[in-house]
Amino acid sequence: MIELQNVTKRFAGFVVVDSLSIRFETGQTHVLIGPSGCGKSTLLRMIVGLVTPEAGAVLFDGEPVTPDSLVAIRRRIGYVIQEGGLFPHLTARENAGLMPRFLGWPEKQTAQRIDELTQLTQLTPAMLDRYPRQLSGGQRQRVSLMRALMLNPDALLLDEPMGNLDPMIRADLQADLRTIFRTLGKTVIFVTHDLAEAGYLADHITLMRHGRIVQQGTLHDLLERPANDFAAKFTRAQRGPQPIESE
């Protein structure tokens, strides 16, 4: 379980996360949604310790994330970002095998784990010997996911992993992701600004605005019982062809 308690973060005096509290239950898929700039990525980055909140606390399984506990906690979290964050000088296999190499796993163990994950992510072994820029965007994201899952982490954090993909590829990957999330039963926090995607993947959806939580619930809750005008506008804008009203 991951919990944020009254966390606040400012960038250049501008409040990006505003005394926000949220719990992510174990084994569930949580989606953070909201307009661009509302603080979704910052929230994820707080959990992996790339951003330190000015106030409040981040707890991982009840343990506060501090500089001392950070490294251990990071290895229990898989983190995937929009462009994958793959290292261009390493092949897909080397990217995926980076942590095992660092931790000194026997080669056999690494190979075996990579085999498992290749199947899970619907990649082929031949693709693993390519460099990231020789892979398509969708393949890159699958490799990223492999790398994130390598140490069999307790939690998986994905920050708009499909932001840059074509609709067709995106649909495929969405379907595969849903299967993976369901099979693995990990705590998943998934950031998107696409309501349909959120509804498709999520057990719980959290709608954010200006660094605060507007509403939490299922897709059905959001559509049928929007908490306020903004929530109503947001869902309406995502549903139909009406012009998007800026918040």
Partner 1 sequence: MLRTAVIIVVLLLLAFVPSERPAKGVRIASKKDTGSVILGELATQTIRAAGAPAVHLQQLGGTRIVFDALHRGEIDAYPEFTGTLRQEIFAAAGLSSDDDVRKHLAELGTVMSRPLGFSNNYALAMRRDQAEKLHIQTISDLARHPNLRLRLSDEFLNRADGWPALRQRYHLPHEHVQGMDHDLAYRYLESRTIDVMDVYTTDAQLAQLDVRLLDDDLHFFPQYDAVFLWRADLASRYPKAESALRSLESQITQNDARELNALVQSGKATEAQAAAEFLRTRLHLDVNVEEPSTAAQIARRTREHLDLVRRSLIPAIFVAIPLGVLAAKRPRLGRLILGAAGVVQTIPALALLVLLIAPVAYFGLNTIGGGSVTAIVALFLYSLLPIVQNTVTGLATIPPELHESALALGLSPRFRLWHIELPLASPAILAGVKTAAVLNVGFATLGALVGANGYGQPILTGIRLNNTALILQGAIPAACLAILLQLAFELLERHALPAGLGPKSPSLEGRG
Residue 11 near ligand ADP by CB under 6 A: yes
Work out whether the CA dihedral 118, 85, 64, 38 comes out positive or negative. Answer: negative
Instruction: Say how many CA atoms lie within 13 Å of 156 toward its Cβ.
Output: 29
Rounded CA-CA distance 84/95 in Å is 11
Q: How many other C-beta atoms are found inside a 10 Å radius of the C-beta of residue 246?
A: 7
Q: Which does 39 bind (CB under 5 to 8 A by kind): Mg ion, partner 1, ligand ADP, none?
A: ligand ADP
Q: What is the pattern of x (binds partner 1, CB under 8 A) and - over residues 182-221?
A: ----------------------------------------
| CA terminus-to-terminus distance, the chain | 32
Q: Is 53 in the site for partner 1 (CB under 8 A)?
A: no
Size of the site for Mg ion (CB under 5 A): 1
Please say which residue, 13 or 241, places its beta carbon nearer to ligand ADP: 13
Q: For residue 135, give the 3-state DSSP assignment.
A: coil
Stretch that binds partner 1, among 1-9, 20-28, 90-98, 193-201 (CB under 8 A): 90-98
Mark 89-118 with x for binding to ligand ADP (rule: CB under 6 A) and - for no binding: ------------------------------
Q: Which is nearer to partner 1, 130 or 210 (CB)?
A: 130
**Alpha-carbon distance 129 to 119, whole Å?**
15
- CB 20 to ligand ADP: min, Å: 12
Q: Is 120 exposed, middle or buried (0-12, 13-18, 19+ CB in 10 A)?
A: middle
In this structure, the number of other CB atoms found within 10 A of the CB of residue 194 comes to 17
* Contact with partner 1 (CB under 8 A) among 4, 7, 65, 77: 77
User: Do 163 and 4 form a contact (C-beta atoms < 8 A)?
Assistant: no
**Of 33-41, 88-96, 110-118, 239-247: span binding Mg ion (CB under 5 A):** 33-41
Q: Are 154 and 75 in contact (CB under 8 A)?
A: no
Other CB atoms within 10 A of residue 16 CB: 18
Q: Which of 1, 15, 57, 98 binds partner 1 (CB under 8 A)?
A: 98
Q: Which stretch binds Mg ion (CB under 5 A): 23-31, 34-42, 69-77, 200-208?
A: 34-42
The one-letter code for the residue type at 113 is R
Q: Kind of pairing, strands 55-60 and 14-24?
A: unpaired
Kindly list the residues in this chain that would bind ligand ADP in the complex (CB under 6 A). Answer: 11-12, 16, 36-42
Kindly list the residues in this chain that would bind partner 1 in the complex (CB under 8 A). Answer: 45, 48-50, 71-72, 74-75, 77, 79, 81, 83, 85-91, 98-99, 102, 131-138, 147, 164-166, 168-169
